[in-house]
């Protein structure tokens, strides 16, 4: 895939299509000042790892000023850096370094809600007649004093919080300290777009939009209907959370969102090559919303849903249903696939912990091949390239309010947020020299460190590096069209086509070796460099357990 350096005179406005985006959780990537918390200067120190991996862009989770009740996803100043992460000058230097390494920089924009300490909310809650009185979602109590409706917070309990000054309830889809902005107010939209422009002017190449379908609520505040038990999807919230008991028809995913996304896209289009990916959090309508938000070329460039972030393993049938369903609904849309992120149990634990001895790493390599071969862009979460398992933390080590609330049935998100292991023998695996890190580095993670895997051709890390290099050598894998083939229930097979190149990808999801007959008359030949061991014998593919074969189709 063609990338654009900082000094290139050619601007690739389409860089995001097929891009591999590496997510950095800044608290846990690299600590540069030994306070136990990662920071922007630490990210700069480790950008070479991402460039060597072969990613096209970095996505940096929030580093804005925040009281850190939700670790940066509760913003109190959209246009400044929280001191724990550094300064605006540190961010400028990070962008410059990334661009020198030909890495695009995307940052997290949390537009649906702010911290309750944001000056906008402080003014809004001060009374009923101030200039920002309707910048948030306020509503009167019912006659009996209870909340206006039955809407629930993702973090548990009612989505409404009583404010004693205004003597009204305000809406919060997340923590009570994260009040929801009122997107029905045009001035709110304008103010948020101004903050987006601020970062574009500082040189960022794009954005990841947090909870992109949560911006608007129904003005009528109707009760959400109950959701039948057999339709509850734990990908949006854990089963112990009553949030899944409702069909969220009115508190999110409203049609008015499309017009705001058009405004957002128009702003991005006024810059040379800015792009955005949206996170769609809706267990019932994820693929449908992805299609709606990315079709037409006037809204989001790409979106990802929670379909591959759930516990459900990605069987061939499931992958075909999700990816095929997206392109059937939005032939001109563009997805961004992710198997792990900062909100869910790492997929190495979800999908490979049950593998027999010796097959865990092979399973992870196969899954990486699937993710990096599907039509669409890709988000990789830090540590995913190491095959990191979920950390098992003690209750006293938890920091995530979500996990503390629902412990022990749900342990929260700290297990996927522990510090990145760089050096097996260094204190805290090379993340920090501090005696205490914000989250502990599990001892088991030391054996997965970059220093341990780098240079080992059989490691998960070297497989990612090898496959990303292979992907760049074959543009069809980045930007080509995709067509599925049915080669049996245990096999995922599809072709990727771009220009004169057609690449055939075949993955064995079975725990046993299998032989697969290709369709008669198909003229195929193997491609080298991807790292899988499948063997073509005539028209038959022989695949070991959790192995793959990738070749070219002659026309």
Longest CA span, the chain: 78
Alpha-carbon distances, residue 95 vs 9, 100, 104, 159, 203 (angstroms):
18, 9, 8, 37, 7
> Distance between CA 341 and CA 383 in Å, rounded?
10
| Active-site choice (70, 108, 279, 384) | 279
Q: What residues pair up with 552 in beta bridges, in sequence order?
A: 503, 525
256 is catalytic: no
Show Cβ contacts of residue 132 under 8 Å, excluding neighbours closer than 6 positions: 120, 123, 124
Long-range pairs of 493-501 with CB within 8 A, sequence gap ≥ 24? 494/373, 494/374, 495/553, 496/373, 496/375, 499/475, 500/555, 501/474, 501/475, 501/476, 501/552
Determine whether 52 is exposed, middle or buried from the number of CB atoms within 10 Å of its CB (0-12, 13-18, 19+). Answer: middle
Q: 492, 467, 493: which is closest to 380 by C-alpha? A: 467
Q: Could you write out the DSSP letters of every residue in 150-205? A: --B-TTSSBSEEEETTTTEEEE-SS-TTSPBB-TTSHHHHHHHHHHHHHHHHTT--
In sequence order, what are the beta bridge partners of 181?
Answer: 136
The tally of CA atoms less than 13 A away on the side-chain side of residue 521 is 1
Angle at 416 between CA 200 and CA 96, to 5 degrees: 25
Q: How far is CA 103 from CA 30, 48, 95, 294, in A?
A: 18, 10, 9, 24
Report the alpha-carbon angle 92-81-111, nearest 5: 105
Q: What does the alpha-carbon distance between residue 400 and residue 393 come to, in Å, rounded to a whole number?
A: 11
Distance (Å) of CA 437 to CA 211, 322, 429: 29, 39, 11
Pairing of strands 481-485, 491-498: antiparallel
Active-site hit among 205, 210, 343, 414: 210
Q: How far apart are CA 293 and CA 209, in angstroms?
A: 12
Q: What are 370's two structure tokens?
A: 């699937």
User: Is the sign of the CA dihedral 94, 95, 96, 97 positive or negative?
Assistant: positive
DSSP-derived 3-state class of residue 265 = helix
Q: How far apart are CA 84 and CA 399, in angstroms?
A: 16
Note if 279 is an active site residue: yes
Query: What one-character DSSP code corresponds to residue 242?
Result: G
What is the C-alpha separation between 366 and 531, in angstroms, rounded? 10
Long-range contacts of 186-189 (CB under 8 A, 24+ apart): 187/135, 188/135, 189/260, 189/263
Query: Annotated catalytic sites, by residue?
Result: 210, 279
């Amino acid at each position: 895939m063609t990338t654009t350096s900082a000094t290139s005179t050619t601007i690739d406005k389409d860089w995001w299509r097929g891009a591999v985006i590496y997510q950095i959780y800044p608290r846990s990537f690299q600590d540069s000042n030994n306070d136990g918390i990662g920071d922007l200067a630490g990210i700069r120190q480790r950008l070479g790892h991402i460039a060597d991996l072969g990613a096209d862009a970095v996505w940096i989770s929030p580093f804005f000023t925040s009281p850190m009740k939700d670790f940066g996803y509760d913003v109190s100043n959209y246009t400044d850096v929280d001191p724990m992460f550094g300064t605006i000058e540190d961010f400028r230097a990070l962008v410059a370094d990334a661009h020198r390494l030909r890495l695009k920089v995307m940052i997290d924009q949390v537009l649906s809600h702010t911290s309750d300490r944001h000056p906008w909310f402080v003014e809004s809650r001060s009374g009923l007649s101030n200039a920002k009185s309707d910048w948030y979602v306020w509503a009167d109590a019912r006659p009996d004093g209870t909340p206006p409706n039955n809407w629930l917070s993702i973090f548990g309990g009612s989505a409404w919080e009583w404010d004693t000054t205004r003597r009204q309830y305000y809406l919060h889809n997340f923590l009570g300290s994260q009040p929801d902005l009122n997107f029905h107010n045009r001035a709110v939209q304008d103010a948020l777009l101004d903050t987006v422009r601020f970062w574009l002017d500082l040189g960022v190449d794009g954005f990841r939009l947090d909870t992109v379908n949560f911006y608007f609520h129904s003005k009528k505040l109707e009760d959400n209907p109950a959701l039948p038990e057999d339709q509850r999807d734990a990908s949006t919230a854990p089963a112990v959370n009553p949030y899944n008991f409702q069909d969220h028809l009115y508190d999110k995913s409203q049609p008015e969102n499309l017009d705001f996304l058009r405004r957002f896209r128009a702003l991005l289009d006024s810059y040379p090559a800015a792009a955005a990916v949206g996170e769609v959090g809706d267990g019932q309508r994820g693929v449908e919303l992805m299609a709606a938000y990315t079709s037409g070329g006037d809204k989001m460039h790409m979106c990802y849903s929670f379909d591959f972030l759930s516990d459900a393993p990605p069987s061939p049938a499931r992958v075909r249903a999700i990816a095929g369903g997206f392109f059937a609904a939005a032939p001109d849309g563009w997805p961004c696939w992710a198997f792990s992120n900062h909100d869910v149990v790492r997929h190495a634990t979800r999908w490979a912990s049950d593998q027999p001895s010796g097959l865990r790493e092979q399973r992870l390599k196969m899954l990486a091949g699937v993710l990096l071969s599907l039509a669409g862009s890709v988000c990789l979460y830090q540590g995913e390239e190491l095959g990191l398992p979920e950390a098992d933390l003690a209750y006293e080590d938890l920091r995530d309010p979500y996990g503390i609330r629902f412990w022990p049935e749900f342990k929260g998100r700290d297990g996927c947020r522990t510090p990145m292991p760089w050096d097996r023998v260094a204190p805290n695996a090379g993340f920090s020299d501090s005696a205490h890190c914000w989250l502990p580095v599990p001892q088991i993670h030391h054996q997965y460190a970059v220093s341990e895997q780098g240079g080992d051709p059989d490691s998960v890390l070297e497989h990612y590096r090898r496959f990303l290099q292979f992907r760049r050598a074959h543009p069809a894998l980045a930007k080509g069209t995709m067509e599925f083939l049915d080669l049996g229930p245990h096999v995922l097979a599809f072709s990727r086509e771009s220009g004169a190149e057609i690449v055939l990808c075949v993955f064995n999801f079975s725990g046993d070796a299998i032989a697969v007959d290709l369709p008669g008359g198909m003229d195929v030949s193997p491609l080298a460099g991807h790292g899988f061991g499948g063997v073509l014998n005539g028209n038959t593919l022989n695949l070991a357990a959790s192995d793959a074969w990738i070749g070219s189709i002659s026309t």
